[in-house]
Structure 1
Amino acid sequence: MEPALDVEGLEKTYGAVRAVRGLSFQVAPGEVLGLVGPNGAGKTSTLRCLAGILPPSAGRVRVAGFDVAQAPVEAKRQLAFLPDEPRFFEYLTVWEHLNFTARLYGVEDWEERGRALLEEMELTGREKSLPGELSRGMKQKLSIACGFLHQPRLILLDEPLTGLDPLGIRRMKASLRRRAEEGTALVLSSHLLPLVEELCHRLLVIAGGRAVALGSLPEIREQMAGGAGDGASLEELFVRITSAASEEARARGNEPA
């Protein structure tokens, strides 16, 4: 089966700073991959390169078989990128944002689908509201509804639960699970490690722009030297792995002490 996302040797540099260094991984249809790492690890740069927002400095990204650099329109039609700080047109209503998104992606039956998404996101009755009239959590839900509208094969999420209350978080987790069960691939970046541990099939841990661990939680536990990861939570493994990566980088002289 063709991967929904295929990344080979991804690099991103900003001047002398190498934010992403040689990332290679795949995400299968229906798989949820957790992208985790400390602040400044390169997670957001990675997501923006995957989404085609930033051009990679080197390497290749394919979405549903389409090269993001060579066939950007076709690739972007297959994905949705949901940033941690959604931005909207201040003079378009909730319903008009869905209409605009549908026109961009050529979604013909968007009205029925849009109403269903508004109900799922608890935005029914807010169709005529402007972004300035929405709470932080409601804006997040509108961003997600717009992202789900064209039924992408790959969804990239950067801190998707920001601003949601506990009930909203529970419902959002159910929505993400349902998309995965229907065959959509998801890449989820979050500092909420219990959320990542609960939803994700595999984890990609990055530090200093490099992949320092990739696999399921049991596989990563097994990779820990001498069985040190046996029974450890994701939080414990995260601290051990990223601390070890920082020590290694300092030993190479790549990071300040």
Structure 2
Amino acid sequence: MLEVNGLIKKYGKQNAVNDISFRLEGGEVVGLLGPNGAGKSTTMKCIVGLLRKTAGEILIGGHDHLSVAAKKLFSYIPETPNVYDLLTVKEHMQFIAQAYKVDNWKDKADQWMELYDLTDKKDKLGRDLSKGMRQKVSICCALLPDPQLLFFDEPMIGLDPKAIKNTKKIFKELKERGKTILVSTHLIDSVETIADRIMIMKDGNIIGNDTLSSLKSQFSATDDSSLEDLFLELTKDE
């Protein structure tokens, strides 16, 4: 579903992403972890086309990532949710539905708004929403077109406990339907229970990319160590 080959992103002479390659298969939830400045968000923004890559090839569903065919296959939920100030919550859903030609969008929109407790906020303007509500709107808009591939950049920040629980449940349901999810986060506990595979970045490089159990065996962590223990061990300064 996603192929990244030799991705490089430079700012001046500094490499923010240093020649990384990886693949994501259908029906897979992958957690992308790393300390601040590791290159997680830069990698994700290059994949979705918000940043221009310096070098490398990115394919989504076999299509170049900047093509319309690729863009129809994925949704992206940014770390800082962007909503339109003068559109209501419901109008956001309508806008996405028209852009992606979603059939029977009203029923689907009502379903997602109810799940995220937005039904009574559907006539509120974007400018009047709290950060948490904006995040919920962003997630609902991303889910409405039923994409094959979803990119979540820090999806749990700003969400209340109920919304976090529902989001994890959605990840599981989407995975069972063969969808592919890449989750970038600092909240290690939030991915430990849902990710099939973990990718760990440091200084623009992927230093670990495997299942949690395999990573533990590779890096000599004890069987009872947590993902947090493994993460801290791999990303510590030498």
Normalised-by-shorter TM-score class: over 0.9
Higher Cα Rg: structure 1 or 2? 1
| Equivalent residue, structure 2, for 1:125 | 120
Q: How does 1:131-146 map to 2 (within 5 A)?
A: 131-146=126-141
- The Cα of 1:94 is off from its aligned counterpart by 0.6
Whether 1:200 aligns to 2:205 is no
* Partner Cα separation in structure 1 for residue 113 and residue 174 of structure 2: 16
Please report the RMSD computed on the Cα atoms of aligned residues, expressed in angstroms.
Answer: 1.2
| Amino acid aligned to 1:77 | K
- The Cα of 1:231 is off from its aligned counterpart by 2.9
* Partner Cα separation in structure 2 for residue 162 and residue 211 of structure 1: 24
| Equivalent residue, structure 1, for 2:147 | 152
| Equivalent residue, structure 2, for 1:232 | 225
Query: Which of 96, 99, 123 is the equivalent residue of 2:94?
Result: 99
Contact 2:86 2:127 in 1 (8 A): no
* Partner Cα separation in structure 1 for residue 8 and residue 109 of structure 2: 37
Whether 1:180 aligns to 2:175 is yes
Deviations 1:108-139 (A, max 9, x none): 32122111111122211222111122222111
Whether 1:77 aligns to 2:72 is yes
Runs of 4+ residues over 6 Å off in structure 1: none
| Equivalent residue, structure 2, for 1:170 | 165
Any gaps of 5 or more consecutive residues in structure 1? 248-257
* Partner Cα separation in structure 1 for residue 162 and residue 94 of structure 2: 27
Contact 1:229 1:237 in 2 (8 A): no
| Equivalent residue, structure 1, for 2:30 | 33
Deviations 1:25-46 (A, max 9, x none): 1111110000000100000100
Q: 1 or 2 for the larger relative contact order (CA 8 Å, sep ≥6)?
A: 2
The count of residues paired between Structure 1 and Structure 2 equals 238
Q: TM-score, normalised by structure 1?
A: 0.89
> Identity of paired residues, percent?
38
Q: TM-score, normalised by structure 2?
A: 0.96
Give the secondary-structure state (helix, strand or coil) at the position aligned to 2:186.
coil
